[in-house]
Each structure stands twice: as structure tokens, then as C-alpha cells.
Structure 1
């Protein structure tokens, strides 16, 4: 190897996963994390791998694309998936965690690794060659570093994202809320549901539309990820959009009446004890006073809600990866720099960790003097790599952040009748084709 030292900037999910994979591959890693010296408005913990928007890593069912990604990362020795499994809280077939215990466990494992040195300071400039560096500063990259990355990318770097509120469990009216997972998945106690009749739903939507919102600065353009739209933006698209989206009541019949409400607000537990609950899909740019007023007044069961955390809007930085990055996730303009995580245009906790793993494997290949060998396109890891390189998209595609979905996978051969059969075929093919990539080349 030409060197055995790599700098990783950013201790989020991608940076933590990459640092672990590099260290396990025999590389001395200097991991730079700005907290607690400086933190973004969305961060509250001092630890690494902080989960900001939600405590859920989404479906753990391998017949869902993200569940298959979970499986592949576990088989690859992911530190993020190991920590998630160790700090899991009930959430049906979703992999949800106690976010404080999760962050603490990832932090402890990386701090204890003999080849990882953690530096608690803000990186304000990109490292110079020849030493290799991985930038995994995520959607909340500091202004100084973001300016350097923008210059490297030669274009715009950001849109906006929003996070959902959390309420205290003992402030929820349990005479109104009922416990039920959609279609009875899980233990039945993983979610609480607030039922709304049609009149209540219409009143809530009207209040949402009229409520005061956080306004971006005049020089900023709000560009939202379609999979994480603020609820008021969804409501602006039509009066019934929320009822068919995050407030969809299908599979959530009230066991006390046997009937399906017109709409439902789902609350997902934040910890095993159920002391805090996340309003599922309720990411918002309402001002904090308006959140308190509207949610208490118009959502049944939350009249006396105590908010552990209120929703907020924040900048989300990402590169046009197919144009700016080479297939090994290094910058075309500055090949000693690699990028990983949400800054590359992947969306989601698990996708960010997977991207960190991909970049780390690419760096190990570079250090060994060989070309990067990506995972097969038919695997979840390979499909994500196909998104980053553009190979999974048609010509002229407008590059946007995305979660891993089966639409990114190569077309299946043969006939497969029905959605279930197609998913089973995707999974069977992926499990076979990930095998050669499980053991890194020496």
C-alpha cells in the first residue's frame, strides 16, 4: 500500500461506517467530528452516528429493498447494523432503535478501535493531496467546507429537509390513542394511533395550510426530497393527499370499534419504555409555536402534549454524484478525495451507512493498487452504487436523492407473476450475487 493513513471527515452514519471498515482493513484512520465543539441546529447528542430525523432504519424485512440492504450490511460486518440490532426497540417489522444508546454504542466501538483516532474539531477545508481523505459531512455540512465542496462540484449543493416532532408518552391521551401496528405486524404495542373522523381531518388540514411556516432566506431555494416532504407541503398538493399518505388509515382499524377511521396519526416509540413517541411522517416547517398550537388543538389525543422535540427545517447538502464523482466515489477533479453518505445523494440512514462502506472498500482497493470492484448491480449495495454512478437511471435523468428501491435493480429475467414473486426473485438473485463481494480482496 502507498499509505496506511486516511482522514475521514464527519462522524455520522457514513463516516462511522467508513472509519470502521477502513480500520478493520488495516488502515490508520483519523476521524474528524465537529461535535461537541460545534453542532448544527438539528443535532443534540455529542456522540457519533446521531440519528436526527427519526429513530427508525425502516423495514427489516429482506423482501423490502432496504431490508435486503440491512441483511447485506450485516453480512459485511457493519458497525452500524450491529449497533442497531443491539439497541433495537419494538416497531413491527421496522428496525427502530433507542437513538441515545445507538449513538453511544457506535461511539464506544470506534473510540476503542486501536486504528481509529477521533479528533473533536470542525474541518473547515478539504485536505490536500497526496494523502487520501473521505468527506462524509452529510446534509448539514458547515458553511466553510460546503463552499469548498461547491467550488469543487461547480454547482448548487443544497435543498431542504425537515424532521418530525417527538411527544412525551405520558402526555398522550390513552383514552383516544390505541395501540396497533399496520395489518397487525409486530407485537401490537409498537405504535399508537390517533383516529380522526372526516370533519377532524378537514379542520386539521385547514389549520396546517393557514399555520405560520419557517421561511427560507431570500437567496435560498427550498428543494425537498420527495420521500420526506413536510406535511404542509403535502397538504398544499390537495386536500386528501395526507389521508392517502402519512395519515393513511388502511390496516389500522380501531380495535375498540372494529372500524377504520377516516385518517390516523401514527406515533412510533422512541425507546423501549415508551417514554417518547415520534409523529410518523410529520416532518414539518411550521414554526415551533404553531406546531404546539395546531397539533394540540386539532389532533385528537394530543390536547396536553408535551413536546420532547419539535420539528424543524434544515439545509440538506448533496452533490450531483454521477457528474462529480468517479465510479469509485472519488472526486473527478481531485481524485485523492472520496465522498460518502447523504452528501452524495443517497437518502436514509441505512443508505448512508452503505455508501460509507462502499467508499471505504474503494479506498482499500486504491491503497492496494487495484481498480475498485463494486458489488454486483443486482444486489442492494450494487443498486445503490448504480444510483451514485447513474448506471441505474435512464439517460437525461434529473439526479435527486433517493432511498434504495427495487426500481434501481436490473430488470429480472423470466416471468414472475405478482409483486411478491418479483420481490422474492430480487432477493434470491441478490443473495447469490453478493457472495463474491463479502470477503474483501487482500
Structure 2
């Protein structure tokens, strides 16, 4: 059996898996179908291309589970976090990146690694031998998805996801809009002004909702049903759940003061977040959509400050493929019926860029250990990485399994120590315990990648 590790998919999970394994001395081949086979959402052939958002979400590693996941990946020498930090953009307390510079940097680092090679072309079947990781993400090719379905007998692998539009910054009317992070969050003035805010009055909001509900939407193909992940719902779907839903979701007006009219509280606020380092592009936060292109331009130009907006990219809908992992994966992230194959990333049923990359990190290490005849200690379920892998490999109910972001609800409860903790104290207890256990896990491996 070859000691090479083959990885199908060069997204964030596949890139991180390749980096981890290659850095541990394993020869790695990344099989990436782009640019030979294009997808709806990707625009380049680069590795680790981000398509839905440019945000890794909160970077708070004491009060937020995804921030803790950032910390764990940094400690494990993660490439995705290193490049994310290097190409970060102002985003308040979040970690947002210049997506083009980020993917170019990941691509250059991997292609220049002596243990990594990249082969273009589509893999259409499940290999019978060798060491493989499938990290194909939400846009798994139809042929490979069919091969997985044939092997598992699973009836439904697909649900639908939507991406948000991007606006040219110089077409935003700043006499109406203003720069401010919610609650002025951020350590620097640049961070505190990381978002552009567009205010709405109640009549403007009501008219916007009416237009949103009436707009032409993308149709599904025959036989397809829409099962959206709640963390990335199209705005039309949210609006259909109730007219006030958006105002309490991505359009909430709290923590913001309009300097053009500080005495008037906006009824709703649309936020835009910088999408590149130059600050020439902004994405509309939380505005994933399945509206047809013509309808999008009409509806979004109803937003105050965007009446003359020009769009670098409009939103769209695409299929997102994931496996019923609790049923089909073992604790080593291997397919039970073909243990030479591991799965990583969004196809395992984790949701989000960071979660996907974290599962790539773990899969890469597990595969490397197996090839080198080492035993990798089980990841403590008290850590963010451990909580995720525990969830997808048996912690979740297979009958109701749906994609999941990392959250403290996946962690074993913390000891109250004599009384009920407040939320901040409880979250700090989760992160303190996780950091100690993750550090211990790395030390137990004699870790050669860990951060200083």
C-alpha cells in the first residue's frame, strides 16, 4: 500500500489536511477539479478559495466557541489560521480576511512545500486502496456524490446554501450610510469602523420586506427539495418566517448610532463588511439570497445608501452536499465500509469555514499517524475540535443530523463549583478547560507543529 496521502478537494479543509500531513513528513497529493471543472460559486483555480463570506467570525477565544477553535488551530500550527491572520481585515471583534490574497497565499505555501503536489482533474469514484481524505466541501461534484451515495445507501446527501452579494465601495452613498462596528467593538479606530451601516425607517423596512417577498426566486430542479442550514438562510426564507425576523437577525439596529441623525433610532440597519484589503469591495452581511439577478439589483437598491450601488457579484443558490456522518464515520473519521477513506470539512456535516478547516486539520493528523504507524491520542471532547468531531462521529442523532457550527452546547458541561455560574464565567470555564486539554493533547504527541 502506498504511503502517499491523497486528498480530494483543495478547499479550506483539504488545504489544512495537506499542510498538517506534509509538515509531519507525509507525501501528499491534492486532487482539485478546478479549474478543469468549474463550479457555480468559485471564480479561480486557487486552493482555499472562500466563496460565501470572507469572515471566520468571532476571534474571541475566551467567550466564543469559534474563537476558541481559532486558538486551537493556531496552537496546532494551522496554515489556514496563519494565512487568515496575515491577511486579516478590520472587522470589529471578528476575523475577516482579504479573500483573494488569502487563497493566493495558501496556494503558494502548499505548492512550494516539498511534500505536496497538486493534480488537476475530477475524481469520480471511491478508491479501493491507498490513504485518502475526501474534503470536497459543499460543491462536491455530482459524480463523486453519486459514488458516495452508492457506497452508503444514503438517500439524501444534498441541501441548499446561498451566497451574499458584493458591492463596490465607491457606489455606496456615505451621506446616508456611516462606518461603525456594533457597540464600537474593536481595539483600534479602524476596527471600530469596520462596517458600513445603512439605516431604515419603519416604512422603508416594510416596503423592503414587501419587495423581498414578491421578488422572483430561483427555481429548484425537478426532484430537488430545499433544506437550508439555519445559520446561512436566504433572506427571503427568513422574511417568510415573519415580517420582523430580519429586523431581529442580520438587520437588527442595536449597538449603532447614526452620526448623520444621532437623535433618531433606525428601525432596521443593513450592514456591509469589507471584503478585500483595499477596501474597494463590501459584502452585505447576512444577505444570502436565491433571488434572480434582476430582482436582486432592484430590491437591494431600495436600501438607503445603496440606491446607486453597483455589484461586483450578485448572490446565488447552490447545492451543499454533506454525509450523515454519525451513521457512516468511525471515531477516526474513516468511512466504516471503506476505512482507507477519511472525510473532512463541510461534507462531514460541520458548518462554517473554521469548522471545516479544523476537521481538515484533524483528518490530516489522523492520516499521517496511521501512515507512520503511530497512535494519535483521542482528541478531548472538552476542546472545540474534540466537541465537533465527537458530534459528527456519534454524538449527534443520525436520524435528525443536520450541519452544525461549533458552540458550547456541544461541550461536556462544566462543574458549577458550588453554585450556578453566570454566562461569562461559564464560557470562560469552558475555554480555560479546553485550552489546558488541547495543549495537553499536543504535548502528548510530542507535537512538532505546535505554536511557540
Given the alignment of the two structures, is residue 248 of structure 1 paired with residue 259 of structure 2, yes or no? no
1:153 aligns with 2:155: no
SS class of match (2:400): coil
What 5-or-longer segments of structure 2 have no aligned partner?
A: 448-452
* Mapped contact 2:176–2:260 kept (Cα < 8 A): no
Q: Is the 8 A contact 2:326 2:398 kept in 1?
A: no
1:149 and 1:247 map into 2 onto residues whose CA distance is 39
Contact 2:100 2:276 in 1 (8 A): no
| In structure 1, C-alpha distance between the alignment counterparts of 2:90 and 2:50, rounded to whole Å | 17
| Structure 1 residue 419 displacement after superposition | 1.1
Query: Does residue 1:280 correspond to 2:285, yes or no?
Result: yes
RMSD, aligned CA: 1.3
1:383 to 383, 387, 398: 387
Contact 2:202 2:267 in 1 (8 A): yes
TM-score by length of 1: 0.96
Shift of 1:441: 5.3
CA distance in 2, matches of 1:223, 1:374: 33
Three-state SS of the structure 1 residue aligned to 2:359 is helix
Alignment TM-score, normalising by the size of structure 2: 0.94
Shift of 1:31: 0.7
Structure 1: tracts of 5 or more residues without a match = none
Q: Counterparts of 2:70 and 2:45 in 1: how far apart (Å)?
A: 25
1:167·1:305 contact (CA, 8 Å) conserved in 2?
A: yes
8 Å Cα contact 1:328-1:372 kept in structure 2: no
Among 204, 215, 229, the alignment partner of 1:200 is: 204
Question: Which structure 1 residue ranges, 4+ long, deviate > 4 Å from structure 2?
Answer: none
Distance 1:32 1:441 in 2: 30
2:450 corresponds in structure 1 to none
The offset of 1:372, in angstroms, is 4.6
Determine the C-alpha separation between the residues in 2 that align with 1:372 and 1:140. Answer: 30
Q: Which residue of 1 aligns with 2:331?
A: 327
User: Which residue of 2 is the match for residue 213 of structure 1?
Assistant: 217
- Contact 1:362 1:373 survives alignment (8 Å): no
Instruction: Answer yes or no: is 1:106 the counterpart of 2:89.
Output: no
User: Secondary structure at 1:51's aligned position in 2?
Assistant: coil
Q: Counterparts in 2 of 1:11-410, with a 5 A limit?
A: 11-62=10-61, 63-129=63-129, 131-155=130-154, 156-186=156-186, 187-258=191-262, 259-296=264-301, 298-391=302-395, 393=396, 398-410=400-412
- Determine if contact 2:160/2:228 at 8 Å carries over to the other structure: yes
Q: Distance in 2 between matches of 1:29 and 1:365?
A: 14
Query: Structure 2 CA distance, aligned partners of 1:262 and 1:104?
Result: 40
1:388: Cα distance to partner?
A: 1.1
- Between 1:118-127 and 1:250-259, the stretch displaced more is 250-259
Partner Cα separation in structure 1 for residue 98 and residue 345 of structure 2: 22
Task: Decide whether the 8 Å contact of 1:57 with 1:95 is kept in 2.
Answer: yes
